Structure 1
Amino acid sequence: MEICTEHTHQVDHMSVEVAWELLWRSMNIGEEKEVQNLKGIGTEIVRKCGCLPLAIKVTATVLASRDQTENEWNKIFSKINCPQRKLPDDIEEALYLSYNELPHHLKQCFLYCAMYPEDCIMHRDDQPGQLLEETAEEYYYELIHRNLLQPYGTYFDHSSCKMHDLLWQLACYLSKEECFIGDPESLGGQSMSKLRRISVIINKDMLVFPATDKECNKVRTLRRIEQVSQGIDPSLFKKFLYLRVLDLTDSSIQSIPGYIGNLIHLRLLDLDGTEISCLPECIGSLVNLQILNLQRCKALHILPLAITQLRNLRRLGLNETSINQVPEGIGRLELLNDLEGFPIGGGDGNGKTKDGWKLEELERLSQLRRLDMIKLESAIPYSTGSMLTDKKHLKVLNLYCTERTDEPYSEEGVSNIEKIFEQLIPPQNLEDLGIIRFFGRMFPTWFGTTHLASVKYLKLLNCNSCVHLPPIGQLPNLRYLRIEGAAAVTKIGPEFVGYRGANPRSTDVVVAFPKLESLIIENMPNWEERSFVEEEDAAAATATEGGEDGSVEIRKGKAPSPMIKLLPRLKGLALVGCPKLKALPRQLRQEATSLEVLQLIGARCLKVVEDLPFLSETLAIVGCDCLERVSNLPQVRELRVTSCPNLRCVEGLGSLQQLWLDVDMQDISTMWVPGLQEHHRKLHSEDVDVYTWP
């Protein structure tokens, strides 16, 4: 479970006053007073946006890029009020303005999004144009910043997104001369000679293109063939000889014909989720191929020898594909920078193929930006130190072991995996680290070193044999932390916070998790200890707070412990599946001053949620059987409760605006909802809005 607010397609119109507030807030300029003198023309602008939230947000991005003067805002208003081109009635002029203000390179990226079906999820790393990966990422995030793409779902790094329906319609309209979406047979006698991009959606047994070979010569992108139940006309691979992008994602195609070797201009071949069981050796003829996606190909177990001939390959996706036979020589693909699902093999093969690659084969891949290594339990300890520390471009690293369901790993296996992980020292430029199904008893010692100084995102998933969490509280740039399935951990103490070993007489303030914004702790069935520091240390740290000026006052006869400050920037916290946790960590009440969202799910022993003065937005509580009281949350705006049968007291929520209750809470809530409403009417002269939470 992740903490985020998912984008929803906002189409409801709002009042002019609320629309004005949304406009200046979306500009990220701080206080309203900075643009208060522009409220008159701003009100006219939001009216021309139809008081539509999406149109207001994209217009706000345009306004924010200009000087905050009445002349500049009048220019924007004039462009919306007197459009220079005729648009369909269902497309807002303000949306076209946001497109028209884009630089040329971003216009092309925006129009390319029309190739995806309406409401489709788009993945950042599957975009063509990977030749300059960092530049491509800049374009992607710039479109998000301009509200032309909306982050989707729970991806903390916004690696997936959607395009709002209205913006998708705009992109389709503007690209209609070169882009076609639908069944090609619906074109009838209409020529395809002008088309450059085709996205096919049909419900027939066989995909057939009625166009002549000559008409297909200008098509550069063919993608999103879906709902095809039988197969694809083999002539497809003969007709479109000049393709740059071929995307067969989730189609039922079972084999790739040898004709594909003729598509020598191909840059991207996406077979994600198809039923293919093998790749032809002629794939080695695709000398310009940069991206080969083979994720979720459940029937594919062997990579062809010819794959090592793809010297321009930059991304190879193998995640969730059970590859058990690979060719030697992956190191020849020296331009590879994205390698997901790199299977490790222990034994030798027949001289040409084997069950997985050795760690040594990573040495020549100096351009790696992302690396996912699987089956690490099969690795043999490396003889000359670490092969990762010198990979100066590596930003994302995920290390997977295979889960055993038949019997536990032997002592020898445990010792071996600990040695392997100890050698996988990441480079200091790493930003995103995931360790999944590690079955060693101790995390590698490099967790407590400077090697993780640049890490922003950290995931520790199903590391069920480690008794203690690693010392990561002092990582200076960590913003997102997810811990899931740490079954052996009963206590989260000072070793996790990372201050143990500091000078015990120091009066300096030690800040733990200084930049952490999102923390998810999930499925920790044995976690009981509720404090992140030892109680005596916590008492010593808090008892020394003395004078009116906030200075530290040392008690007689007591050597001061370091002052511990925890989670100063934490915005979202989720505690999920922690059934033995009886109380929230004390530090949440005193030190999490930026907390906005708190989710408590399956904390069956939790009895009270109280005294959280800084929690400012949402509290969601699900399946907390013993919960009796929620109180003293003065800033919370939204409360969601379900499956809490003993919740008999809710009070001290003076800022509450919305209450969401499941149907099973209707009876028990009658004990406290009237009191909440009465208190709210005294403070705000109106009722709290009460909704049913499905």
Structure 2
Amino acid sequence: MEEIGNEYFLDLASKSLFEQSSDDKSGFVMHNLVNDLATFVSGQFTFRLGVDYSQKIVDQTRHFSYVRRSRYDNFKKFESLCETSRLHTFLPLKLSPGYNFFLLTKRAPLDHLLPKLRYLRVLSLSHYLNMIELPESIGKIKHLRYLNHFSTGIKRLLDSICKLCNLQTLNLSDCKDLSVLPREMRKLINLRHLDINGTAIKEMPMQLANIYSGASIEELRNLANLRGKLSIVDLRNVVSPTDALKACLKDRKYLEELILEWNAMDANISECQIFVLDNLRPHSHLKSLTINNYGAESLSDWVGHHSFSNIVSLHLENCKNCHNLPPLGQLPSLQDLSVVGFEGVVKVDHKFNGRDSSTVKPFEALTILRFEQMLNWEEWSSFGVENEDGAFPQLEKLYIDNCPKLKGGLPVHLPSLAKFEIYKCPQLVASLPRAPVVCELKLGDCNEVLSKELPTKLRKLVIRGFDALESLPKGRVASNNCLQVLEIREFSEQHERDLVTLCIKIGHCPNFVSFPKGGIRAPDLSFFNVSNYESLRSLPEKMHILLPSLDYIKIINCPRIESFSEGGLPSKVKSMDVKGCDKLFARRAGWGLQKLPSLRYFSVGGKYEDVEFFLEPGLLPFCLTQLHISSFPNMKSLDKKGFQDLTSLQELTLWDNPKLEYIPKEGLPTSLSIIEIYKCPLLRKRWQSKKGKERRKIPDADHILIDNKEFIK
């Protein structure tokens, strides 16, 4: 069935009905014109909530999807589903930017909704954090084929789920609180895909043991249709290489991803490890391979063998005793390669590139390369003077991290390189590769030599931990008209040139006292972030004039800053974070934020022990929609006068205010729709009390969350 579906999809892709996403190469998108055609053809059979504004759900609707634009979903969003009796698909389309989880409020009870959707084939409830268990009625959806519970708070699956005799796919991955499966899982006779990655499940139900986990690794030979991804962990338990051979992985031609992992805590390196790895050779159709915590001195010959022409992703991690790297350059389809924790490797030479060939370039398809924690690696010498073998022609991203003994040998010419990161390589003195299209460069805790000749077309530059660096290379930053993001950490530079950049992040610079006199001219700057400046006394001058496009300001742990820029802040500022700035907060009456007509988000906090009541009247503009108040150790109450002015406030978050006990007598603004409270034990106790005056002061917000649990007034 999977093969047929894959053929259909590839056929549609070949006809350009689907196109590979430029943002995510593992995903596909549909061209706008094709999307319009599909929408027209599907007619009333499909409904996309939040997209198809001109349509409505009718009895003929079979497929329902929705875009999650906020963190909360309530019953109002789904009540229109009552108009159809034969829905087949219930599917969230995508995640809203900035949100990693969502909440399905108790006003959207699944036990009322699911019985009306008994013809469902596809049901996805992914990323709902407060989805602790499915209702009993799930067992009545007999036609269900696909159930997605990815990254939910589910703690147990009811036995009724075992009544879903047509279920083919059950995704429980990243359900961290799920520790056991129902006993009657054997009744799911059509189940083909079960994903329990990231769960607390340690063993399968007894009836499934001979199918899924097995008494030994040789039981895998019974899974003739094994496909997709296979992860075998704790391989130290395989004491006989013969058992590994009997697993017959070489015959599993539909297996696409294989993870082989030994125990990192095992101090005893078994001599049979290399023979076990030899006998776990997979089929050459494999696309992704990960080997972790392997303890022998060399990898098996099949790792990197040119017959594995379909390998796209290869991750070799924590093989600490290996002295050499396999000839990986001869894998023609390899795109993503990670080499991590090979502490025995001292030199990477031409053998890494693979067979000598006049027609095949080493690593001809590789786009991402990572070397990390190579603690004894000294030399990378697999290149000629001018890269005459043409290695890495497609390499786009190169990461070298924590290789403290590496001295030289970087590639000379990388024509496709766009992003380059080097961290914790203090002895590396080689010149940066010639990379005509590189746009992002990050250097941290490295030798000053690397910063001498920065590329001129960078869009993002990050420099950290250059203890010996006195200034940025002359003219390189100021004259770069492409630079959009400049981030400097642990540095004492005071730059006097104009910057053409969209983002400045500067932090952890204890000796930085002031910005250049006269200010910083950056007309396109939109994000300004200064953090952990112990000595900085003021912000740049004339910010309202020289930074006209600024819309986000973040000032964190700068205790000596006393005021904002003279003349005020730019009028386009939309978001602000002010935390750990003692002197600045003490002079908050002079902030002048009420003059900012665009300010929508404001976050304030930082161990101000003398504050018992907050917020003062007139401190914030009436146009503010989101307010975050955190880490006030002695604050007892919110000031009613300050909140009465915030007539547009929609979201209020109170975080880590241990003595906060009261809210204003007149209550909070009626415009509030979302209230989130974390680590405010006294306020939580009052609000959760079944009796008491405080409960009557709680506003009628759509969503109230207390310590990640929904609160019903």
Q: TM-score, normalised by structure 2?
A: 0.56
2:273 matches 1:396: no
SS at match of 1:617: coil
Question: In the TM superposition, what whole-angstrom CA distance separates every residue of 1:253-310 from its partner, at most 9, and x where no partner exists?
Answer: 3233443232221111111122333334443432322211110122222333543443
**d(CA) in 1 for partners of 2:21, 2:305:** 37
Match of 2:222 in 1: 363
Structure 1, 594-603 or 626-635: larger mean CA deviation: 626-635
Do the aligned residues in 2 keep the contact of 1:370 with 1:397 (CA within 8 Å)? yes
Match of 1:520 in 2: 369
Spell out the pairing of 1:244-643 with structure 2 (5 A cutoff): 244-251=121-128, 252-327=130-205, 358-379=217-238, 381=240, 382-383=242-243, 384-401=245-262, 403=264, 408-411=265-268, 414-415=270-271, 417-447=273-303, 449-498=305-354, 513-533=362-382, 565=389, 567-580=391-404, 582-586=406-410, 588-589=411-412, 592=413, 594-605=415-426, 608=429, 610=431, 612-628=433-449, 630=451, 638=459, 640-643=461-464
Say which of 88, 96, 101 aligns to 1:220.
88
- CA pair 193-256 structure 1, distance change in 2 beyond 3 A: same
Residue 627 of structure 1 deviates from its aligned partner by: 2.0
Residue 648 of structure 1 deviates from its aligned partner by: 4.8
Amino acid at match of 1:620: L
Match of 1:38 in 2: none
Do the aligned residues in 2 keep the contact of 1:649 with 1:672 (CA within 8 Å)? no
Coordinate RMSD, CA, aligned: 4.8
**d(CA) in 1 for partners of 2:395, 2:237:** 40
SS at match of 2:347: coil
**d(CA) in 2 for partners of 1:656, 1:221:** 51
| Structure 1 runs not aligned, ≥5 long | 1-128, 334-341, 349-356, 503-507, 546-562, 675-687
**d(CA) in 2 for partners of 1:292, 1:624:** 46
**d(CA) in 2 for partners of 1:364, 1:271:** 25
Say which of 172, 190, 196 aligns to 2:62.
196
SS at match of 1:642: strand
- CA pair 149-601 structure 1, distance change in 2 beyond 3 A: same
Do the aligned residues in 1 keep the contact of 2:340 with 2:374 (CA within 8 Å)? no
Match of 1:6 in 2: none
Residue 599 of structure 1 deviates from its aligned partner by: 0.8
Amino acid at match of 1:661: L
Structure with the bigger RCO (C-alpha within 8 Å, sep 6+) is 1
Amino acid at match of 2:88: R
Do the aligned residues in 2 keep the contact of 1:436 with 1:460 (CA within 8 Å)? yes
Do the aligned residues in 2 keep the contact of 1:207 with 1:233 (CA within 8 Å)? no
Match of 1:134 in 2: 6
**d(CA) in 1 for partners of 2:110, 2:304:** 57
Do the aligned residues in 2 keep the contact of 1:427 with 1:451 (CA within 8 Å)? no
SS at match of 2:254: coil
**d(CA) in 2 for partners of 1:672, 1:666:** 17
2:241 matches 1:241: no
Say which of 455, 458, 473 aligns to 1:649.
473
Match of 1:658 in 2: 482
**d(CA) in 2 for partners of 1:643, 1:208:** 47
SS at match of 1:446: coil
**d(CA) in 1 for partners of 2:297, 2:408:** 27
- CA pair 611-472 structure 1, distance change in 2 beyond 3 A: closer
SS at match of 1:361: helix
More helix by share: 1
SS at match of 2:329: coil
- CA pair 673-565 structure 1, distance change in 2 beyond 3 A: farther
SS at match of 2:59: coil
- CA pair 453-635 structure 1, distance change in 2 beyond 3 A: farther
Amino acid at match of 2:180: I
**d(CA) in 1 for partners of 2:451, 2:171:** 49
Do the aligned residues in 2 keep the contact of 1:205 with 1:229 (CA within 8 Å)? yes
| Structure 2 runs not aligned, ≥5 long | 94-101, 500-521, 530-713
Do the aligned residues in 2 keep the contact of 1:193 with 1:216 (CA within 8 Å)? yes
**d(CA) in 2 for partners of 1:669, 1:510:** 51
Question: In the TM superposition, what whole-angstrom CA distance separates every residue of 1:586-644 from its partner, at most 9, and x where no partner exists?
Answer: 5x11xx45343241231441565636445433350232443245466888565624226
Do the aligned residues in 2 keep the contact of 1:595 with 1:614 (CA within 8 Å)? yes
Amino acid at match of 1:220: H
Query: What percent identity do the matched residue pairs reach?
Result: 21
